[in-house]
Amino acid sequence: MEETEVLVIGQGLAGTCLSWWLHQAGISFKVIDRPDLNSASMRAAGLINPITGRRLVKTWMIEELLPFAENMYREMGILLGESLVSGVSLIDIFPSVQMLQAFMERYKEDPSYLLPGDDREKYAGSFRYELGWGSIQPCLLVYVERLLLLWRRWLKQNGHLTESQFEIKKLALDENEINYSYVHARHILFCDGFSSARNPWFENLPFAPNKGEGLLLEIKNLDASLVYKKGMSLIPYRKDIFWLGSSYEWTFENDQPSENFRKNAESWLNNSLKLPFTIMEHFAAIRPATLERRPFVGFHPLYPQIGILNGFGTKGCSLAPYFAKQIVDRIKGKGEIHPLADIKRFEKILTRQQ
């Protein structure tokens, strides 16, 4: 039997951030993840935008989350030897009079992160538009694919990763510890996205999964130091490759790419983009979102050896670093998990199911 303090299930953004903070804290851990690394995180755009929604309000906790996330990604980049994050401005090209008005009204109320465009025709060489633009800054762009692949390599090299499908039938509880296959641990933490919605300890949490689709496009001669938004978003992804998306489908039949999204995206490109493009990939994934749009963080009220770090929806790049650190602090016996994220708020339904 192999001994470790924490067994982490999943190596998407949540599992990656959690294992980073466990490493930083000197807590022994093992990660179990299926070998294909085919998670929603792998095709995440990586954009941390401090402004959200049609009303252009500040993202929840962004003043704390933005610098915290940037610092963690930069520290990981130093260890792994590659840049994993950069500061970026989002060019918000107004698709309607209503969005132009909303931007200017919000700018007058609170100019934080907002800046009206200084030259109406500045991006007219690349995009078709009539109503001008504004910018949202600073944003952060996390190179998620690079992050996950490099961290996976580091986990393998340091003996922390087992590439296999987690099988819940192999998990046994033992007093305040757990046994899984050949591993004996003090804690098990589920960072496995939508799979946690089928977990017997957490299936009653109010998950609200939604499907997102996007495209990877080759676009040459488009400035890759900026993010562009005109209803849909174009985000630098790799050299000459941009991420286009995304959809938010609350009702869906499967997790496969759909012809409807592709047609709508091509129509948007033809109507909005002046530059030639080539579609390289069409992808889809299920996001582990929640009904109240707050994550699920913490330990089961009846089984404190079982924990969860999940439910980040589209905000994984900003939320996962912060709340992974909070859950590691709890393992060390210090600090508290933010009450709006702590699964203690669901104590009644979590204890009722047992």
pLDDT by residue, tens only, the chain of 354 residues: 899 999 999 999 999 999 999 999 999 999 999 987 666 778 889 999 999 988 899 999 999 999 999 999 999 999 999 999 999 999 999 999 999 999 999 999 999 999 999 999 999 999 999 999 999 999 999 999 999 999 999 999 999 999 999 999 999 998 889 999 989 999 999 999 989 989 999 999 999 989 999 999 999 999 999 999 999 999 999 999 999 998 889 888 898 999 999 999 999 999 999 999 999 999 999 888 998 899 999 999 999 999 999 999 989 999 999 999 999 999 999 999 999 999 999 999 999 854
pLDDT at 316: 94
What is the set of domains in the chain, with CATH numbers? Answer: 2-43+155-207+291-352 (3.50.50.60), 47-142 (no CATH), 210-287 (3.30.9.10)
Which tokens hold the place of 333? 């016996």
Asked if 288 and 311 touch (Cβ cutoff 8 Å), the reply is yes
For helices 144-157 and 13-25, angle between their N-to-C axes, nearest 10 degrees: 50
Which spans in 96-215 are helix H? 97-109, 144-157
Give bridge partners of residue 234 from the DSSP assignment: 228, 244
- Altogether, the residues listed in the chain come to a count of 354
Euclidean distance between CA atoms 243 and 138, whole angstroms: 19
Euclidean distance between CA atoms 25 and 21, whole angstroms: 6
Q: Cβ neighbours of residue 52 under 8 Å, at least 6 residues apart?
A: 58, 59
Kindly tell me the burial class for residue 38, based on how many C-beta atoms sit within 10 Å of its own C-beta (0-12, 13-18, 19 or more): exposed
3-state class of 60 per DSSP? coil
Neighbouring C-beta atoms of residue 168, cutoff 10 Å: 13
| Residue type, position 266, single letter | E
Which of 244, 224, 242 is CA-nearest to residue 233?
244
pLDDT at 38: 62
Euclidean distance between CA atoms 255 and 147, whole angstroms: 24
- Could you give the count of Cα atoms lying within 13 Å of 252 in the half-sphere of its Cβ? 21
CA distances from 6 to 10, 17, 164, 170, 307 (A): 13, 14, 17, 16, 10
Euclidean distance between CA atoms 330 and 324, whole angstroms: 10
3-state class of 226 per DSSP? strand
Q: Cβ neighbours of residue 315 under 8 Å, at least 6 residues apart?
A: 59
